[in-house]
Amino acid sequence: MSRLAYVNGRFLRQGDAGVSIEDRGYQLGDGIYEVWAVIDGKLADAEGHFVRLKRSLGELQIDMPMSREALTVALRETVRRNRVRYGIVYLQVTRGVARRDHAFPTVPVAPTVVITARSIDRDGAEAKAAKGVSVITLPDNRWGRCDIKTINLLPNVLAKQAAKEEGGFEALLVDADGLVTEGASSNAWIVDREGVLRTRDTGANILRGVTRLSIIDVARQAGYKVEERPFTVAEAKAAREVFVTGAGALVMPVVRIDDSPVGNGHPGEVASALRAAYIEHVTQTAV
């Protein structure tokens, strides 16, 4: 079955789909994106991603390309037509097509909207989570507005590639004060020596992960103490547990940071329990 992409209101075979070479996303990175996890063919944490989408667009002064209802239909239809039961759906909105010029087009142009969806092997993902992953640490050299989910991902791309070359799953990015900000495509968490769950506060230069926010709720409901408080690389290496969260990885236990094993080198019980609780939560609430 060939994959289908939604491009500005039409479903096209992905191999045939395209946008103009003068799309400002392509030429200037002038656009934003969202990723929803798909669970049982439905959108996980739908509300949180819509709220962030609206915010990202607002920060770039791009209008919502269509109503939330219409967008929901397009997202769900992309998922359905690609027969995705478990995976992700990707939405990209750019400022649109105009002659290349850094400043916004003077004549209003319609945003470019692209949606794609793909399956993730659920058993493979569970096996990975059961084994745990390794991560590397790298300086965070991104711009100062990482709260906006823009398609400008070059530092993240390079960090992820560096991690991959070391056999790692993710790179934890570290700011000038030696504090972990987040992962290249995930938020980072520890269970510290006192058993407290810690993740970076949103006052820092990080993406406000939708999964992160849900996990804070899920964890508190399960009786864990959660603090939005920074941690150093040394604290992460000495922590009881480390894990990362995001729409792609959901909750992924980290068992090695650089050359140091985390805890006993196996996924911790908090991370494993939260992964199960989060999947249960989104299975109940997905739309």
In the numeric block, which tokens belong to residue 66?
């269509």
Instruction: Report the residue number, 26 or 278, with the smaller CB distance to ligand PDD.
Output: 278
Residue 214's SS3 state is helix
Phi/psi of residue 173, each to 5°? Answer: -95, 140
Residue 116 interacting with ligand PDD (CB under 6 A): no
One of 92, 186, 199, 272 touching ligand PDD (CB under 6 A):
186
The Cα–Cα gap between 189 and 240 comes to: 11
- Yes or no: say if 252 and 224 are a contact pair by the CB < 8 Å rule: no
Looking up tokens 């990015």 gives 173
* 42, 54, 149, 225: the active-site residue: 149
Q: Cβ 215 to ligand PDD, closest distance in Å?
A: 9
Q: Cβ 98 to ligand PDD, closest distance in Å?
A: 26
Phi/psi of residue 5, each to 5°? Answer: -120, 145
The Cα–Cα gap between 211 and 4 comes to: 26
- Among residues 90, 113, 109, which one has the least CA distance to residue 8? 113
- Yes or no: say if 89 and 36 are a contact pair by the CB < 8 Å rule: yes
Residue 78 interacting with ligand PDD (CB under 6 A): no
Span from 104-112, 163-171, 180-188, 197-205 in contact with ligand PDD (CB under 6 A): 180-188
Q: Cβ 50 to ligand PDD, closest distance in Å?
A: 12
Span from 121-129, 195-203, 244-252, 263-271 in contact with ligand PDD (CB under 6 A): 244-252
- Yes or no: say if 218 and 238 are a contact pair by the CB < 8 Å rule: no
One of 12, 17, 28, 35 touching ligand PDD (CB under 6 A):
35
Q: Cβ 97 to ligand PDD, closest distance in Å?
A: 24
DSSP label at residue 110:
P
What is the per-residue binding string for ligand PDD in 147-166, x denoting contact by CB under 6 A?
---------x----------
Residue 87 interacting with ligand PDD (CB under 6 A): no
Q: Is 42 among the catalytic positions?
A: no
Phi/psi of residue 238, each to 5°? Answer: -95, 0
Residues in binding contact with ligand PDD, number by CB under 6 A: 15
Residue 115 interacting with ligand PDD (CB under 6 A): no
Q: Give catalytic residue positions.
A: 149
